[in-house]
Amino acid sequence: MNRTLLSKEFLEQRRTYRLFILVAVLLVFGLISPVVAKYTPMLLRSIPGVPAGLAGIIPEATLSDAVGQYVKNTSQFGVILVIIFTMGVIAQEKERGTAAMLLTKPVRRSAMVLAKWSAGMGSLLVGLAAAAIGCALYTALLFQPLPLLGFLALNALMAVFLGVFLSVSLLASALARSQAAAAGIAFGSLVLLLILASIPRLGEVMPNQLLGWGVSLVLGGDASAWTALAVSFGIIILSVLVACLRLEREEI
Amino acid sequence: MIQIKGMVKCYGKVRALDGLSLQVEPGMVYGFLGPNGAGKTTTMRILSGLARPDEGQAWILGKEVGVNRMDQRPMIGVLPEEPAFYPWMTAREYLRDFIAPLYGLEPGAASRRAGEMLEEVGLSEAADRKCAGFSRGMRQRLGLAQALIHQPKVLLLDEPVSALDPAGRKEVLEVIGNLSGSTTILLSTHILADVERVCDMIGIISRGHMITEDRRDDLLARYALPLFEVEVDDDLGQWPEIASKLAFVKSITVSNHTARVLVKDVQSAQTGLLASVLEAGLHIRRFEIVHPSLEDIFLQLTEETPQPAQV
């Protein structure tokens, strides 16, 4: 790993406020998820005019609701953020000419891809950590303490899930010569993954299964998705590898 | 030091490079001249490792260049035609924290060299400003600084002064001139006065191939015409008619008070022509052998070049 490139990528994450925005957004969703889970039933019951019978069947919020809300919010907004922040990272350098400045130096093109991937994943992990801490604190306050290992495993699986979208977006950025084209490829890939996930048997091995597995680990269920984990790692490795090969062959 | 042999590069049906060959000797400043679209930037991109040729090869410091070849990269400096920088970085950060470490400079040396280069290219005052606000001229100066920071043995400069004002051009050309002898420089430009000022060797490229290549003075001498210009205070009167009958005179053209005399024998003309003017009682304002400018040669050569080849 080229330390100079990695330092520059982390500095760029900070200077362009990507890291700040990612941490802030994920932290907010980490904090509000247990709050929303806790108070939504109470809000529904307190709405004027709700029939007494209906108010009676709205269940009390549980730990399961808090975890479910956290996974839903963090994964959905996390996917959008990693795509937006990653889709232009290589295409923009090619478009602006900064890649041409860099790639005349003694730097392997794959090092540029790996540095960008590492910095993106680093920022994502910091954001997820912030979200997890926020969620764990408020869940403990409003419900009960989360099981530490299970919650860590959930967040690790969520990092892999989001890592899939980050890697695919990075590949889109390497394939495209402009940011607009990279955005098209990245969001197209998102739609494709969602479609694949909805196909009955195929969907059982797609990355979204990791989220259910993670929830199960927190709540003590027996679900697992090892194949989906292998597929996710496969998509990540393949995306980064193809991005490296593409850039190695491309004329800048 | 730099060698290109039979290089061909096609973009679609257009042959941007059509069998280009050139050689730059160590320590030489080689002016790589050509009109827009001649293939200069394509050549620079191939030598820099940003593009690959369809045919032919190129070597720098004896090592073949290529998109993924790293051998010679630590020893070359490259200034692209339009240098681009990260808008969120300052000029000093770019040189000290990014470019210098890529060449393996330790933090102390990186900081010292960054300061020296910013001073040398006249960017000291803007050193801690973000690159986002830099003018094109400032970007070109910073581009030169990043190309020089590791004291390369070979410099590839693509239009290095095209965005600078006259004073800036003079400064930057002085920097380039000072490197002559110690650094091998391939300087691509279409500004002929700059080439005449700093280059030892000149290659003129048009439509992807080399039209002519020679030492600057030899090139100018090679294309020198045996032409005299005589300017007098008053009317030339009958003198052009008299002079046209001299044995060494080939032809005369007259414009106001000036006569341009094409001769067959320069040595005879140097004495005979002057004597003839004095005999005619004319008051000489100027009497000189006309030296062709690089511009004359350039225009003459590039206008003669046939249409671009198609594949």
Query: At a CB cut-off of 8 Å and minimum separation 6, what does A230 contact?
Result: none
B49 and B69 in contact (C-beta within 8 Å)? Answer: yes
Which CATH number among 3.40.50.300, 3.40.50.150, 3.30.70.520, 1.20.1050.10 corresponds to the domain B2-222?
3.40.50.300
- Chain B residues with CB inside 8 Å of A248's CB? 67-68
The answer to ipTM > 0.90 is: no
Q: Which of A7, A96, A251 sits opposite B51 (nearest CB)?
A: A251
A93 alpha-carbon distance from chain centroid: 23
Q: Which residue of A has its CA nearest to B70?
A: A106
Listed range (A34-38, B32-36, B275-279) with the worst mean pLDDT: B32-36
CA dihedral B99, B102, B104, B107 (to 10 degrees): 50
A177 and A88 in contact (C-beta within 8 Å)? Answer: no
Output the average pLDDT for chain A.
93
Alpha-carbon distances of B149 from B28, B77, B92, B110, B116, rounded to whole Å? 19, 8, 12, 8, 9
According to the model, what pLDDT value does residue B306 have? 53
Q: What is the pLDDT of residues B107-119, one digit of tens each?
A: 999 999 999 999 9
Q: What is the pLDDT of residues B129-156, one digit of tens each?
A: 999 999 988 999 999 999 999 999 999 9
According to the model, what pLDDT value does residue B309 have? 44
Q: Using the predicted structure, report yes or no on whether residue B259 has a pLDDT greater than 80.
A: yes
Which CATH number among 3.40.1130, 3.10.450, 3.30.70, 3.30.460 corresponds to the domain B227-289?
3.30.70
Q: Per residue in B7-45, is it b (16+ CB within 10 Å) or e — as a string? A: bbbbeeeebbbbebebebeeebbbbbbbbeebbbbbbbb
Question: Is A104's Cβ below 8 Å from some Cβ in B?
Answer: yes
- Chain B residues with CB inside 8 Å of A104's CB? 48-50, 73, 76, 78, 80
Q: Which residue of B has its CA nearest to A16?
A: B88
Instruction: Map out the domains of chain B as residue ranges.
Output: 2-222, 227-289
Residues of chain A with pLDDT under 70: none
pTM for this model (two decimals):
0.85
pLDDT tier for residue B308 given thresholds of 50, 70 and 90: very low
Positive or negative torsion for Cα B125, B130, B131, B136: negative
Q: Using the predicted structure, report yes or no on whether residue B220 has a pLDDT greater than 80.
A: no
According to the model, what pLDDT value does residue B304 have? 62
Task: Order across the sheet with B209-215: list the strands.
Answer: B76-79, B154-158, B184-189, B29-33, B201-206, B209-215
Q: Which residue of B has its CA nearest to A98?
A: B84
Q: Using the predicted structure, report yes or no on whether residue B310 has a pLDDT greater than 60.
A: no
pLDDT tier for residue B292 given thresholds of 50, 70 and 90: low
B18 and B209 in contact (C-beta within 8 Å)? Answer: yes
Which ranges constitute the DSSP H helices of B23-102? 40-48, 91-93, 100-102
Q: What is the pLDDT of residues B155-178, one digit of tens each?
A: 999 988 887 888 888 888 888 888
Q: Tell me how close the Cα of B90 comes to any Cα of chain A, in angstroms.
A: 11
B184-189 and B29-33 as β-strands: parallel, antiparallel, unpaired?
A: parallel
